[in-house]
Structure 1
Protein backbone atom coordinates (compact mmCIF):
# COMPACT_ATOMS: atom_id res chain seq x y z
CA UNK A 1 0.00 0.00 0.00
CA UNK A 2 1.31 3.49 -0.77
CA UNK A 3 2.18 6.14 1.77
CA UNK A 4 -0.67 8.33 2.96
CA UNK A 5 1.32 11.34 1.74
CA UNK A 6 0.64 10.14 -1.82
CA UNK A 7 -3.14 10.12 -1.36
CA UNK A 8 -3.72 13.83 -2.09
CA UNK A 9 -2.35 13.26 -5.61
CA UNK A 10 -4.71 10.30 -6.05
CA UNK A 11 -7.68 12.35 -4.86
CA UNK A 12 -6.72 15.20 -7.21
CA UNK A 13 -6.51 12.76 -10.14
CA UNK A 14 -9.99 11.46 -9.35
CA UNK A 15 -11.37 14.99 -9.53
CA UNK A 16 -10.05 15.52 -13.07
CA UNK A 17 -12.60 15.39 -15.89
CA UNK A 18 -11.72 14.14 -19.34
CA UNK A 19 -13.52 15.94 -22.15
CA UNK A 20 -13.90 14.74 -25.72
CA UNK A 21 -14.56 17.10 -28.62
CA UNK A 22 -16.08 16.24 -31.97
CA UNK A 23 -13.88 18.25 -34.32
CA UNK A 24 -13.39 18.02 -38.06
CA UNK A 25 -10.73 15.69 -39.41
CA UNK A 26 -8.68 18.71 -40.52
CA UNK A 27 -8.69 20.21 -37.02
CA UNK A 28 -7.78 16.87 -35.44
CA UNK A 29 -4.98 16.38 -37.98
CA UNK A 30 -3.66 19.87 -37.29
CA UNK A 31 -3.42 19.13 -33.56
CA UNK A 32 -1.79 15.73 -34.11
CA UNK A 33 0.77 17.16 -36.55
CA UNK A 34 1.49 20.20 -34.37
CA UNK A 35 1.90 17.93 -31.35
CA UNK A 36 4.24 15.59 -33.19
CA UNK A 37 6.33 18.49 -34.52
CA UNK A 38 6.71 19.83 -30.97
CA UNK A 39 7.28 16.37 -29.43
CA UNK A 40 4.08 16.64 -27.40
CA UNK A 41 1.10 14.35 -27.10
CA UNK A 42 -2.18 15.60 -28.55
CA UNK A 43 -3.66 16.36 -25.14
CA UNK A 44 -0.67 18.55 -24.23
CA UNK A 45 -1.02 20.35 -27.57
CA UNK A 46 -4.67 21.13 -26.81
CA UNK A 47 -3.70 22.40 -23.35
CA UNK A 48 -0.96 24.53 -24.93
CA UNK A 49 -3.44 26.00 -27.44
CA UNK A 50 -5.76 26.86 -24.54
CA UNK A 51 -2.84 28.43 -22.66
CA UNK A 52 -3.13 25.88 -19.84
CA UNK A 53 -0.18 24.21 -18.10
CA UNK A 54 1.12 21.09 -19.89
CA UNK A 55 4.06 18.69 -19.80
CA UNK A 56 6.85 19.91 -22.03
CA UNK A 57 7.91 16.45 -23.19
CA UNK A 58 6.16 13.13 -23.44
CA UNK A 59 6.75 10.96 -20.39
CA UNK A 60 6.89 7.74 -22.39
CA UNK A 61 7.25 8.51 -26.09
CA UNK A 62 5.99 5.33 -27.66
CA UNK A 63 3.64 4.04 -30.29
CA UNK A 64 1.19 1.32 -29.41
CA UNK A 65 -0.58 -1.18 -31.63
CA UNK A 66 -2.81 -4.13 -30.80
CA UNK A 67 -1.62 -7.38 -32.36
CA UNK A 68 -3.77 -10.49 -32.49
CA UNK A 69 -2.51 -14.06 -32.64
CA UNK A 70 -2.98 -14.05 -36.43
CA UNK A 71 -0.86 -10.89 -36.66
CA UNK A 72 1.99 -12.58 -34.76
CA UNK A 73 1.72 -15.57 -37.09
CA UNK A 74 1.87 -13.33 -40.17
CA UNK A 75 4.80 -11.33 -38.80
CA UNK A 76 6.63 -14.51 -37.76
CA UNK A 77 6.29 -15.84 -41.31
CA UNK A 78 7.48 -12.52 -42.75
CA UNK A 79 10.55 -12.46 -40.51
CA UNK A 80 11.13 -16.25 -40.68
CA UNK A 81 10.78 -16.53 -36.90
CA UNK A 82 8.79 -18.83 -34.60
CA UNK A 83 5.35 -17.35 -33.87
CA UNK A 84 5.90 -17.74 -30.13
CA UNK A 85 9.15 -15.71 -30.13
CA UNK A 86 7.37 -12.47 -29.28
CA UNK A 87 10.57 -10.67 -28.25
CA UNK A 88 12.25 -11.31 -31.60
CA UNK A 89 9.08 -10.35 -33.48
CA UNK A 90 8.81 -7.15 -31.44
CA UNK A 91 12.45 -6.31 -32.24
CA UNK A 92 11.93 -6.87 -35.97
CA UNK A 93 8.73 -4.79 -35.93
CA UNK A 94 10.61 -1.95 -34.21
CA UNK A 95 13.30 -2.14 -36.91
CA UNK A 96 10.70 -2.13 -39.69
CA UNK A 97 8.91 0.86 -38.16
CA UNK A 98 12.25 2.66 -37.90
CA UNK A 99 12.92 1.99 -41.59
CA UNK A 100 9.46 3.28 -42.48
CA UNK A 101 10.05 6.48 -40.50
CA UNK A 102 13.49 7.03 -42.05
CA UNK A 103 12.09 6.58 -45.56
CA UNK A 104 9.09 8.78 -44.79
CA UNK A 105 11.22 11.61 -43.42
CA UNK A 106 13.65 11.39 -46.35
CA UNK A 107 10.71 11.53 -48.75
CA UNK A 108 9.39 14.66 -47.00
CA UNK A 109 12.76 16.38 -47.45
CA UNK A 110 12.78 15.71 -51.20
CA UNK A 111 12.14 18.94 -53.17
CA UNK A 112 9.01 18.97 -55.30
CA UNK A 113 7.00 16.74 -52.99
Structure 2
Protein backbone atom coordinates (compact mmCIF):
# COMPACT_ATOMS: atom_id res chain seq x y z
CA UNK A 1 0.00 0.00 0.00
CA UNK A 2 2.81 2.41 0.85
CA UNK A 3 4.68 3.00 -2.42
CA UNK A 4 7.17 5.48 -0.98
CA UNK A 5 10.82 4.50 -0.57
CA UNK A 6 11.70 3.12 2.88
CA UNK A 7 15.03 4.91 3.40
CA UNK A 8 15.65 8.51 4.43
CA UNK A 9 18.00 9.40 1.56
CA UNK A 10 15.47 8.58 -1.15
CA UNK A 11 12.65 10.24 0.81
CA UNK A 12 14.76 13.47 1.01
CA UNK A 13 15.43 13.25 -2.74
CA UNK A 14 11.72 12.85 -3.40
CA UNK A 15 10.96 15.77 -1.10
CA UNK A 16 13.46 17.97 -2.97
CA UNK A 17 12.03 16.98 -6.35
CA UNK A 18 8.48 17.69 -5.17
CA UNK A 19 9.51 21.10 -3.79
CA UNK A 20 11.20 22.00 -7.10
CA UNK A 21 8.17 20.84 -9.06
CA UNK A 22 5.83 22.84 -6.83
CA UNK A 23 8.00 25.95 -7.39
CA UNK A 24 7.78 25.44 -11.17
CA UNK A 25 3.99 25.02 -10.99
CA UNK A 26 3.63 28.17 -8.88
CA UNK A 27 5.83 30.12 -11.32
CA UNK A 28 3.70 28.96 -14.24
CA UNK A 29 0.53 29.92 -12.36
CA UNK A 30 1.96 33.42 -11.79
CA UNK A 31 2.83 33.72 -15.49
CA UNK A 32 -0.66 32.70 -16.60
CA UNK A 33 -2.30 35.02 -14.07
CA UNK A 34 -0.15 37.92 -15.31
CA UNK A 35 -1.04 37.14 -18.95
CA UNK A 36 -4.76 37.01 -18.11
CA UNK A 37 -4.55 40.29 -16.17
CA UNK A 38 -2.83 41.98 -19.13
CA UNK A 39 -5.46 40.65 -21.54
CA UNK A 40 -8.29 41.87 -19.31
CA UNK A 41 -6.63 45.29 -19.02
CA UNK A 42 -6.29 45.44 -22.80
CA UNK A 43 -9.92 44.42 -23.31
CA UNK A 44 -11.12 46.99 -20.76
CA UNK A 45 -9.06 49.84 -22.25
CA UNK A 46 -9.45 49.08 -25.96
CA UNK A 47 -10.79 52.05 -27.89
CA UNK A 48 -14.29 51.60 -29.32
CA UNK A 49 -14.67 50.31 -32.87
CA UNK A 50 -15.20 53.23 -35.25
CA UNK A 51 -18.38 53.37 -37.31
CA UNK A 52 -16.58 54.10 -40.60
CA UNK A 53 -13.01 53.95 -41.93
CA UNK A 54 -11.37 54.86 -45.19
CA UNK A 55 -8.53 52.75 -46.51
CA UNK A 56 -5.68 54.90 -47.71
CA UNK A 57 -3.56 54.39 -50.80
CA UNK A 58 0.16 53.66 -50.69
CA UNK A 59 2.53 56.61 -50.42
CA UNK A 60 2.38 60.15 -49.10
CA UNK A 61 -0.53 62.06 -50.56
CA UNK A 62 -2.07 59.00 -52.21
CA UNK A 63 -5.85 59.24 -52.54
CA UNK A 64 -8.17 57.06 -50.45
CA UNK A 65 -8.91 53.74 -52.08
CA UNK A 66 -11.94 52.25 -50.30
CA UNK A 67 -14.60 53.04 -47.69
CA UNK A 68 -15.41 50.40 -45.04
CA UNK A 69 -17.74 49.86 -42.11
CA UNK A 70 -15.60 50.25 -38.97
CA UNK A 71 -15.32 46.57 -38.07
CA UNK A 72 -14.78 45.25 -41.60
CA UNK A 73 -12.30 42.38 -41.70
CA UNK A 74 -11.19 43.36 -45.22
CA UNK A 75 -9.98 46.86 -44.31
CA UNK A 76 -6.22 47.16 -44.76
CA UNK A 77 -3.68 48.41 -42.27
CA UNK A 78 -3.49 51.92 -43.78
CA UNK A 79 -6.77 53.42 -42.68
CA UNK A 80 -8.24 56.50 -41.07
CA UNK A 81 -11.36 56.87 -38.97
CA UNK A 82 -14.06 58.99 -40.59
CA UNK A 83 -17.56 60.04 -39.61
CA UNK A 84 -20.82 59.25 -41.40
CA UNK A 85 -20.86 62.46 -43.43
CA UNK A 86 -17.28 61.98 -44.59
CA UNK A 87 -18.06 58.39 -45.62
CA UNK A 88 -21.08 59.53 -47.63
CA UNK A 89 -19.04 62.29 -49.28
CA UNK A 90 -16.20 59.95 -50.22
CA UNK A 91 -18.66 57.50 -51.78
CA UNK A 92 -20.35 60.35 -53.64
CA UNK A 93 -16.91 61.47 -54.89
CA UNK A 94 -16.38 58.05 -56.47
CA UNK A 95 -14.27 56.28 -53.85
CA UNK A 96 -15.02 52.56 -54.06
CA UNK A 97 -17.23 50.93 -51.42
CA UNK A 98 -15.92 47.70 -49.92
CA UNK A 99 -17.62 44.70 -51.52
CA UNK A 100 -17.47 42.75 -48.24
CA UNK A 101 -19.04 45.11 -45.70
CA UNK A 102 -21.07 47.24 -48.19
CA UNK A 103 -20.91 50.66 -46.50
CA UNK A 104 -22.92 52.11 -49.39
CA UNK A 105 -25.90 49.98 -48.32
CA UNK A 106 -25.45 50.97 -44.67
CA UNK A 107 -25.30 54.65 -45.62
CA UNK A 108 -28.10 54.51 -48.17
CA UNK A 109 -25.85 55.67 -50.99
CA UNK A 110 -26.57 54.25 -54.44
CA UNK A 111 -23.71 53.90 -56.88
TM tier, smaller? under 0.3
User: Going by fraction, where is strand more abundant, 1 or 2?
Assistant: 2
User: Going by fraction, where is helix more abundant, 1 or 2?
Assistant: 1
Higher radius of gyration, 1 or 2: 2
TM-score, length basis structure 1: 0.24
TM-score, length basis structure 2: 0.24
